[in-house]
Structure 1
Amino acid sequence: MSEPGTPAEVERQLGEEIDSVGRVWSRTIELGRRGFTISVLIFVLLIMQLLPWAEGRAGWETLAGHAGGVPQLFAATSTGIGVFVGAVALVSRRWWIAWCAALGGWFASVDGLLAIWSQQSAHASGAVGGGPGIGMIVAWIATIVLATMWMRTAFSRA
């Protein structure tokens, strides 16, 4: 064993420190300007909860289940994945959480497409749906852009 303060001991400690920094760096992502864009998109998703989504109800009411199952699923996935998982990924900068946000964002995008389609389709009575509200449409577009941003971020570490 080397004595403390000897060149061999200092070299060993420096090697351990470099290895630990390398392990931390390999698990994190660097967001740069993309991080600001992602945070703005998350904010847009939050604001869209106040605008009409389906059947004249606001996004938060749709999330609570007052406007049908498919719009509620989109409200839950866009809020859960787009806002909460996205915020955790922004704060933690963990690579695997960025992947969760990317893949979950694409899932939420498909939910959004189905939610918009469900509002334009004929219901059981044969009457055409009332159409999607502006909040649902903008939330769907924001979800697609957010999923794209997270996918680019996740692939930047691959």
Structure 2
Amino acid sequence: MADEREENGMTEGLSELDRELRDVARRVERRIDPGATAMVVAVAVLVLIAAFLLPWIGDERGWDLLVGEGAGYGILPRLFTFAALIFGVAASGVALATRIWALAWVCAAGCGISTITGVWAVWSRQISVPQGGLGPEFGLVLALVAIVVLAATWARIALRR
């Protein structure tokens, strides 16, 4: 009788250990390890933040477009500022801090969409501006390059698993 109780106790202990190990495995599977590419993401985010402080269209900085001061320049540059801020800065920061695999995918997809809106923003400023008008400035192009780097890096991190 004592042997049966001892055996049942061991079985319960082993099944509890098995449950704990499965829980740990599930948590590990949901995580990413960006390794050295985390530095690439961090630098690209810093470049993107710096690009918001540079001129995007004429004298209007990216930050000005974000807060609505440069409303006369069309919807595409403003849409790009929001997408770049949300996916390039905020989501990338959260994904690096939490290292959650699903957030890496969100960043890859969001930065990919931001790349498309950024290309449209640059293109719209080039074709809709009369000769000698206000085309895309250095800050807008730098922000687009940073978003392209982020999209490629997040896709690489997300696909690594």
Question: Is residue 24 from structure 1 mapped to residue 30 from structure 2 by the alignment?
Answer: no
- Alignment partner of 1:53: what SS? strand
Pick the structure with greater CA Rg: 2
Deviates more, 1:57-66 or 1:97-106: 57-66
The residue number in structure 2 matching 1:52 is 55
Q: What's the CA shift for 1:9?
A: 3.7
Percent identity between matched residues is: 34
Find 2:64's aligned residue among 61, 66, 78. 61
TM-score under structure 1 normalisation? 0.89
Q: Is the 8 A contact 1:119 1:129 kept in 2?
A: no
Question: Is residue 132 from structure 1 mapped to residue 136 from structure 2 by the alignment?
Answer: yes
CA displacement 1:18-71 (0-9 Å, x = unmatched): 111101011111111111111111111111111001122111001122332211
Instruction: Return the structure number with greater helix share.
Output: 2
What is the rounded CA distance, in whole Å, between the counterparts of 1:13 and 1:146 in structure 2? 42
Find 1:149's aligned residue among 133, 136, 153. 153
Q: Is the 8 A contact 1:86 1:101 kept in 2?
A: yes
CA displacement 1:63-101 (0-9 Å, x = unmatched): 122332211111110111110111111111111111111
| CA separation of 1:3 and 1:89: change in aligned 2, threshold 3 A | farther
| CA separation of 1:5 and 1:110: change in aligned 2, threshold 3 A | same
Q: What's the CA shift for 1:130?
A: 1.9
Query: Matched residue pairs, number?
Result: 155
What is the rounded CA distance, in whole Å, between the counterparts of 1:122 and 1:100 in structure 2? 32
Q: Is the 8 A contact 1:102 1:147 kept in 2?
A: yes
The residue number in structure 2 matching 1:83 is 89
Question: Is residue 41 from structure 1 mapped to residue 41 from structure 2 by the alignment?
Answer: no
Q: Is the 8 A contact 1:122 1:128 kept in 2?
A: no
- Alignment partner of 2:27: what SS? helix
The residue number in structure 2 matching 1:94 is 100
Structure 2: gaps of 5 or more residues: none
Find 1:74's aligned residue among 61, 77, 80. 80
| CA separation of 1:87 and 1:6: change in aligned 2, threshold 3 A | same
What is the rounded CA distance, in whole Å, between the counterparts of 1:87 and 1:58 in structure 2? 22
Equivalent AA in structure 1 for residue 160 of structure 2: S
What is the rounded CA distance, in whole Å, between the counterparts of 1:120 and 1:2 in structure 2? 81
> RMSD of aligned C-alpha atoms?
2.1
Q: Which has the higher contact order (CA 8 A, sep 6+)?
A: 2
Equivalent AA in structure 1 for residue 134 of structure 2: G
TM-score under structure 2 normalisation? 0.87
